Amino acid sequence: MSDLLLNIEQLNAGYNGKIVLKDISLKIYQQDFLGIIGPNGGGKTTLIKVILDLIKPISGTVNFLNKETKNRIGYMPQTNYIDKKFPILVSEVIESGLISKKEMKKSEKKEKGCEMIQQMGLEGIANKPIGELSGGQLQRTLLARAVINAPELLILDEPNSYIDKRFESHFYELLEEINKKTAIVLISHDIGTIIANVKNIACVNETLHYHAGSDIDNHWLEEHFECPFEIIGHGDIPHRILKKH
């Protein structure tokens, strides 16, 4: 088993005195690929904010086994958090992932940015403003920014909400390669994508239910989502249909 990277124990968290997460415990290991699913309002975003230290727990502990890991988290936000009107170029967005590297020279950051641009296939649009990008181009730009600092933990928040379907398979191939060195947490409503790509699954619905492996079934989903599901296999990626409820 890989070394433990992050240990969350008996976490309670929320906002304005309201508890959103109750008694959450979760272990994330090096090179883990954890898919987090759950209904809207179930607490997925709150959990991520706690891990990113954007909000403090009401009680419980969030411990990184290596204190440096806390400063080496890559985060790829949802597209609706991005101001596409902000006057910034693709290359500048990517290099901003090195903002904490004060010891790096500007030329070194530029060189590292060029490496990421090539890895993500963004050579032709490096000098474009982000407002001119397609969904897939923006996705690759944000992924490049998230991994340029070689994080130990990469958090992806609903990447499929703006995925370019022509790039989808390549995107998950990139994640598979990144996962060889980096633990990944992927939050998604797309259960089919979760099942097809992750190693382990957690359902967050006020509490947290962990499932080792990705072989979940209808019963497990219905029990923890608290609504009916049918999972239908279709090609390489399973799709899902919700029954009327």
* C-alpha–C-alpha distance, residues 139 and 186, integer Å: 14
Over residues 70-80, the mean pLDDT reads 83
Tens digits of per-residue pLDDT, 31-50? Answer: 999 999 888 888 999 999 99
pLDDT at position 226 over 60? no
Query: pLDDT exceeding 70 applies to what percent of the chain?
Result: 84
Q: What is the pLDDT of residue 113?
A: 95
Output Rg (C-alpha) for the chain, integer angstroms.
18
Give the range among 62-66, 85-89, 176-180, 240-244 with minimum mean pLDDT.
Answer: 240-244
Here the tokens at position 63 are 């411990």
Say how many CA atoms lie within 13 Å of 20 toward its Cβ.
21
Over residues 8-26, the mean pLDDT reads 93
Report residue 102's pLDDT band, with 50, 70 and 90 as the boundaries: confident
Report residue 173's pLDDT band, with 50, 70 and 90 as the boundaries: confident
pLDDT at position 225 over 60? yes
pLDDT at position 163 over 70? no
Q: What is the pLDDT of residue 123?
A: 92
Tens digits of per-residue pLDDT, 49-65? Answer: 999 999 999 999 999 98
Which string of b and e fits 151-173 if b means at least 16 CB within 10 Å? bbbbbbbbbbebbbeebbeebbe
Q: List the one residue out of 137, 93, 133 whose CA is nearest residue 113.
A: 93
* C-alpha–C-alpha distance, residues 102 and 89, integer Å: 21
SS3 54: coil
- DSSP string for residues in 29-43: ETT-EEEEE--TTSS
Sheet hosting strand 73-76, strand order edge to edge: 73-76, 153-157, 183-187, 33-37, 200-205, 207-212
* C-alpha–C-alpha distance, residues 209 and 207, integer Å: 7
> Between 24 and 193, whose confidence is greater?
24
Strand partners, 63: 7
- What is this structure's pTM? 0.85
CATH 3.40.718.10 fits 4-81+150-241, yes or no: no
Tens digits of per-residue pLDDT, 107-145? Answer: 999 999 999 999 888 999 999 999 998 888 888 899 999
* C-alpha–C-alpha distance, residues 39 and 205, integer Å: 7
When the pLDDT of each residue in the chain is averaged and rounded to a whole number, the result is: 84
